Structure 1
Amino acid sequence: MKLLLDIGNSRLKWGLLSAGRWVAQGALDHDRPWDFDAILPPEGQLASAAGVNVAGDRMAARVEQALAPWQVAIQWIRPASECAGVRNAYDPTQLGADRWAAVLGASRRHDGAALVVTAGTATTIDVLTDAHVFEGGLIIPGVELMKRALAGNTAQLPFADGVPADVPTRTVDAIHMGCLHAQAGAIERMYRHLAGQRAPMCLINGGAGPLIAPLLDMPVMLVENLVLDGVAVALNEPGFRGRGADA
């Protein structure tokens, strides 16, 4: 059994992979203790660990210390000029490992042009052509960051935990929907880059994905965790296909 990791800015997402299939997946918050005993097989039954990390060296050291009892060295996946049939037109030295992994994961799930969206602390919106070339994309503040920016930099706007509305009539709903529509607008503009390509599809994952996906006027696949899928692809995991659901 293999442990795959996605260390983001606020959470550590994990998955256990066996014979090309996910056995379990979950997430641990950075600001709480991690209980790997509760999620991992007994010591000696974990064959390896691999992952991506965008949270810095201190967080990587924390993970390595937490996994010490299982005696597995972590293989950190880094962007490359090409991997698993995907060519990278982005400068690998400037590319986050999570974005690269999400693109690799998308390439395994959808055999066509893809707009690869990860809606987390930040939202990344990346273009993968039908010729399996990662052309680049955008990074914008995520939904929660947008809300916090309004609450922290205006005198009378609260941090909004609003509800969906087509035309909001309450301030908290106006903020909530405004931030979601801002995300959807950026995604729809980038989707134009797939015009004329074969079987264009938006693949979206991340915590805000289920909120954004219904607003998009395009074919959408809502995916549980493209980044973990991409780590498996980078490892050339035999038989791995991933799993997803249309939105």
Structure 2
Amino acid sequence: MQLLVDAGNTRVKWALWDGERIVQQAALAHADLGGLAAQWAALAPTAVFAANVAGPAVRAAIEAALPLPVQWQSAQAVAGGVRNHYRHLAEQGADRWLAVLGARHLYQGDIIIANAGTALTVEALTADGDYLGGLIVPGYRLMLGSLARHTANLDRPAGAVCAFPQGTEDALASGAIDALCGAILRLHGRLAAHTGRVPLLLLSGGDAPLLQAHLPQPLRMVDNLVIYGLASVANGL
């Protein structure tokens, strides 16, 4: 069994992979990482594949919780049938690259990959395996938190998402959702214009349910694309 670890900005998610499917999975907040060693001790993994965008302290906590060396992943020029056209690979977060590999692991065809977490990342992948690049946008809570901190009168709970907001709380919620969905739809339109085909929209991340109802079909929801990208790497694809 192989342990796959996705260290994000707010949580560490992990899964046990048997080469064909996820056998077990869980997540811990950064504040609870002291419990990782106890959780992982009973798993006895034969290898560990991981991605980290949370910084050195989280990386060190993961390494300290494991008796095996961790195979940390970074963006590659070619892997899993995907060619990476990112200009400077060292600048690209491993989570973004692995989400693209995870999308290709699960689906063929043209795909827009939207991963809605602390930040929203949106990636464009063609049926031919060309990863063309993507977008980074502040996530839902980052947007609202920024408005709360940097304006005089917007430190209040968000309201309901509606077509024509007629109150400040609803304007906050609707504005944030429209901005996030707008970024996704603009890249979706660009990829469609580039290929002449309608891409599949793949939605993942903790805030994916907030966006799902406001995006068009065809749409697929996938829990933790990064884990599937790590599975592709673990399988040597």
With structure 2 as the length reference, what TM-score do the two structures score?
Answer: 0.91
Give the structure 1 partner of residue 55 of structure 2. 56
> 2:138 matched to 1:141?
yes
> 2:125 matched to 1:128?
yes
**Matched letter for residue 72 of structure 1:** L
Residue 114 of structure 1: how far off its partner (Å): 0.6
Q: Which segments of 5 or more consecutive residues in structure 1 lack a partner in the other structure?
A: 239-247
Give the structure 2 partner of residue 78 of structure 1. 74
Change (3 A) 1:235 1:79: same
Where do residues 88-103 of structure 1 align in structure 2 (5 Å cutoff)? 88-90=84-86, 91-103=88-100
> 2:65 matched to 1:66?
yes
Give the structure 2 partner of residue 241 of structure 1. none
Residue 159 of structure 1: how far off its partner (Å): 4.0
Residue 181 of structure 1: how far off its partner (Å): 1.0
Between the aligned partners of 1:150 and 1:200, the Cα distance in structure 2 is: 33
Between the aligned partners of 1:31 and 1:169, the Cα distance in structure 2 is: 39
Q: Which segments of 5 or more consecutive residues in structure 2 lack a partner in the other structure?
A: none
**Matched letter for residue 204 of structure 1:** L
Question: Which of the pair is proportionally richer in helix?
Answer: 2
Residues 159-207 of structure 1 show CA distances to partners (whole Å, capped at 9, x for unaligned) of: 4243343433442222112101110011100101221445511111111
- Asked whether the equivalents of residues 33 and 61 of structure 2 are also in contact (C-alpha less than 8 Å), the reply is no
Between the aligned partners of 1:143 and 1:89, the Cα distance in structure 2 is: 28
Residues 110-152 of structure 1 show CA distances to partners (whole Å, capped at 9, x for unaligned) of: 1100111111111111110111111101111011100001100
> Equivalent residue of 1:111, what SS?
coil
Between the aligned partners of 1:160 and 1:168, the Cα distance in structure 2 is: 15
Between the aligned partners of 1:164 and 1:38, the Cα distance in structure 2 is: 42
- Asked whether the equivalents of residues 202 and 220 of structure 1 are also in contact (C-alpha less than 8 Å), the reply is yes
Residue 52 of structure 1: how far off its partner (Å): 0.6
- Asked whether the equivalents of residues 53 and 94 of structure 2 are also in contact (C-alpha less than 8 Å), the reply is yes
Runs of 4+ in 1 over 3 A off after TM superposition: 37-41, 163-170, 196-199
Give the structure 2 partner of residue 194 of structure 1. 191
Further displaced range: 48-57 or 96-105:
48-57
Give the structure 1 partner of residue 8 of structure 2. 8
Q: CA RMSD in A?
A: 1.9
> Equivalent residue of 2:31, what SS?
coil
Give the structure 2 partner of residue 35 of structure 1. 35
Q: How many residues align?
A: 234
Residue 77 of structure 1: how far off its partner (Å): 1.1
Give the structure 2 partner of residue 117 of structure 1. 114
Between the aligned partners of 2:199 and 2:101, the Cα distance in structure 1 is: 16
Residue 108 of structure 1: how far off its partner (Å): 1.4
Give the structure 2 partner of residue 244 of structure 1. none
